[in-house]
Amino acid sequence: MRFHFKTDYDHDIRLFPDWWNFSLYAALLAVMVALPFVISSFYLGEVTNVLIWAIAGLGLMMLTGQTGQVSLGHSAFMAMGCYTCVILMEAGVPFVAAFVLCGIITGVIGALIAIPALKLHGVYLAIATLALAILADDIIVILSPWTGGVNGKFAPDLMIFGYEINRWVNPGAWYYMALVVVLVVTLIYRNILRSPLGRAFAAVRDSEISAQAMGVDIARTKTMAFGISCAITGLGGALMGLFAGAFNNETFNFLLAIQLLMMIVIGGLGFIHGAFLGAIVVAFLPQGLSILTDQMGRGFNIPGLEMGVFGLLLIAFIIFEPHGLYGRWLKLRIWLELFPFARRDLFRRQKSYLKTERLR
C-alpha cells in the first residue's frame, strides 16, 4: 500500500499525486506512441475510433459526470462541430484553424442554448436536450445549401503544415493526430477540475442548495459547464465525421447521444478514466459481436443485437455497479491493498444527495 504524505494544500490539486502515477501514465503514453509499429492498420483504425469516442465522451462527462446535468442532445453538438469544421475548410480555412474554431463556435452556441435549457432540472432537462437532438436532424435537412441535406458531405483532404493526412494512405498519421487531440483535451479537462471552476462544478453536482449557500453562481456555473462540454463534444464530432469520410443527417441522430450517455455510465460516471474505458466498450463491442455472429453462422444474425447488448450492459451497471468499470477497478485495487484486512461492508452504498434535494 502506498501512502501520500501531504505537507501543503497544493498537494490536493497536483496534476499527478506522486511519481509512481506519473511513471505509469508516461509508460502508457510510450505504449500508445509505439502502437502503430506493432499492430495492423485495421486494429490501428479501431484504436483511432476509440480515441475519437473518448474525446466526445470527455465532453459529455464534463457536463453529466462533473456537474450532474443529464443531456441526451449532445449528438446535435457533435453534428454542429463536424459541419462547422468542414464548411470552414471548404471556405479555405486551414484544417488546424478550422478545427479549433469549430470547437469555439460550438461551445459558444451551446452556452447560449444552455441559458434557457438549464432552468430545467432532472428528467425535464433530459427531455429538452433529447428534443434538441431530434430537431437537429431536421435543421440539417433544412440548411441543405450548407450541409448537403440528406445527400451529406464528403470530408475534404486534411493538410497540416503541408503534410497530407489520409485514413487509407497513412493511418498512422491519423492515429497520431487523434492522440495529440486526446492529450490536449485531457490536460485541459484535468486542469479545469483543479481550478476553482472545477470545484464549483462538483459543488453544483453534489447539492445546488449547498453550493448556492457557499456563494457559487449556479446559473453561470451550469452555463460554463454546458459551453465547455459542447466545445469538447464538437471537436469529437468533427474528428468522427472526418474519420468516416462521408456523413449526413443520419450520422448524428439522437441514438448517438444515447450511446454516448451509455458509454460514460458504463465506463464510470465522474471519472476521466471512465470516458476512455467506455469508449473501448463502445468501439470494440460491435466488432466483437460481429466476429461472434460470423463464427456462429449466417442464421445467428439477430436484428438490433448491438443495441440490445448495450442496453443490458447499461442496466447491469446501474443495478450492480453505478460507478462503472473504473469504479469497479478502484474497489478491486483497494481490496487488494487492504487484503487480508478488508471489511465486507467496505463499499456499502451511501446516499449522495441531501434530503432537501428531493424537493426539486
User: Which residues touch 76 (CB under 8 Å, ≥6 apart)?
Assistant: 132, 133, 135, 136, 252, 257
Tens-digit pLDDT profile for residues 330-347: 888 888 877 777 666 666
Instruction: Say yes or no to pLDDT of 4 above 80.
Output: no
* Start-to-end Cα distance in the chain: 42
**Placement of cell 461551445 in the chain:** 107
**For the whole model, what pTM was predicted?**
0.90
* pLDDT tier, 359 (very low <50, low <70, confident <90, very high otherwise): very low
191 falls within a domain: yes
124 falls within a domain: yes
**Placement of cell 459526470 in the chain:** 65
Which structural domain range is residue 107 located in? Answer: 39-254
209 falls within a domain: yes
Residue 181 or residue 155, greater confidence: 181
Q: How far apart are CA 242 and CA 157, in angstroms?
A: 9
Q: Is 329 exposed, middle or buried (0-12, 13-18, 19+ CB in 10 A)?
A: middle
Q: Would you state the pLDDT for residue 283? A: 86
60, 134, 208, 225 from 114: Cα distances, Å:
14, 17, 17, 9
110 falls within a domain: yes
The three-state (H, E, C) secondary structure of 74-93, written as one string: HHHHHHHHHHHHHHHHHCCC
Instruction: Say yes or no to pLDDT of 239 above 50.
Output: yes
Tens-digit pLDDT profile for residues 186-207: 999 999 998 999 999 999 988 8
User: What total number of domains does the chain contain?
Assistant: 1
Instruction: Say yes or no to pLDDT of 236 above 90.
Output: yes
Helix (H, G, I), strand (E, B) or coil at 160: strand
The cell numbers describing 251, all together, are: 450520422
309 falls within a domain: no
Instruction: Say yes or no to pLDDT of 219 above 60.
Output: yes
74-90 helix and 123-142 helix, angle to the nearest 10 degrees: 30
Give the whole-number percent of the chain exceeding pLDDT 90: 39
Mean pLDDT of 290-297: 75
Q: Would you state the pLDDT for residue 347? A: 66
61 falls within a domain: yes
Q: Would you state the pLDDT for residue 264? A: 92
Q: How far apart are CA 50 and CA 89, in angstroms?
A: 25
41-60 helix and 171-194 helix, angle to the nearest 10 degrees: 20
Please state, as a whole number, how many other Cβ atoms lie within 10 Å of the Cβ of residue 43: 13
98 falls within a domain: yes
Q: How far apart are CA 74 and CA 160, in angstroms?
A: 28
356 falls within a domain: no
The stretches of 171-271 forming alpha helices (DSSP H) are 171-194, 196-206, 208-213, 218-244, 254-267
Tens-digit pLDDT profile for residues 48-78: 999 999 999 999 999 999 998 888 889 999 9
